[in-house]
């Protein structure tokens, strides 16, 4: 262990953190997602801003939450919040292709927030972001509309299941202190 790692371990121990958590905090990875519009969405581009990542599915009973995700985007986006929808067929409730998903979400819910292409969020084929969240936080989406909040450094702050509405006090109170200061 080098001197820097030793110092981090001592500070982490004094703060009640594990050495692993101290190392994770200093090296939050960035993730690239294929955009539903083509190109890529890169979490590194959003450093300094909180990011709420939500695995979505057009045909899910929770799809009404897309209206609330769009409301978060509209209300807090200008203040720095990024809301990222990750359409997924991991629970067999997504449309057949990205074009259909984009059209459905725009027409039914007025979605203008960033969306990825359709990606797996569970199992061995899960997108690297979801594998990282599983490995570092022990969190795997148990259904559609699970939420992962990242801070401005890309670290996981909190996770919520499908039953927690995006406009809930729990979520708003978790990201509000993370918004960039104007």
Would you give the distance in Å from CA 98 to the centre of its chain?
19
**Long-range own/partner contacts, residues 40-46 (CB < 8 A, 24 or more apart):** 41/84, 41/114, 41/116, 43/129, 43/150, 43/154, 44/154, 46/82
Q: Out of 52, 60, 69, 162, which one is annotated catalytic?
A: 60
Closest among 82, 90, 104 to 36, alpha carbons compared: 104
| Strand residue runs (E) in 93-170 | 147-150, 156-160
60 a catalytic residue: yes
- Pairing state between β 82-87 and 51-56: parallel
How does DSSP assign 49-91, residue by residue? S-EEEEEE-TTSTTTTHHHHHHHHHHHHGGGT-EEEEEE--TT
Confirm if 18 and 12 have CB atoms less than 8 A apart. Answer: yes
User: Catalytic residue numbers?
Assistant: 60
């Amino acid at each position: 262990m080098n001197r820097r790692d030793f110092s981090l371990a001592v500070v982490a121990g004094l703060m009640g953190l594990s050495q692993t958590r101290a190392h994770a905090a200093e090296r939050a990875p960035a993730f690239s997602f294929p955009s539903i519009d083509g190109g890529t969405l890169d979490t590194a581009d959003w450093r300094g801003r909180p990011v709420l990542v939500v695995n979505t599915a057009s045909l899910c009973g929770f799809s009404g939450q897309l209206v609330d995700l769009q409301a978060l985007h509209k209300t807090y986006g200008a203040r720095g919040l990024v809301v990222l929808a990750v359409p997924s067929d991991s629970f067999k409730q997504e449309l057949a292709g990205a074009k259909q998903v984009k059209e459905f979400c725009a027409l039914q819910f007025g979605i203008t927030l960033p969306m990825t292409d359709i990606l797996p969020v569970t199992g061995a084929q899960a997108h690297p972001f979801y594998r990282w969240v599983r490995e570092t936080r022990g969190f795997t989406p148990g259904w559609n509309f699970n939420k992962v909040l990242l801070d401005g450094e890309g670290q996981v702050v909190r996770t919520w299941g499908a039953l927690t509405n995006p406009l809930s006090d729990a979520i708003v109170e978790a990201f509000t202190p993370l918004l960039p200061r104007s």
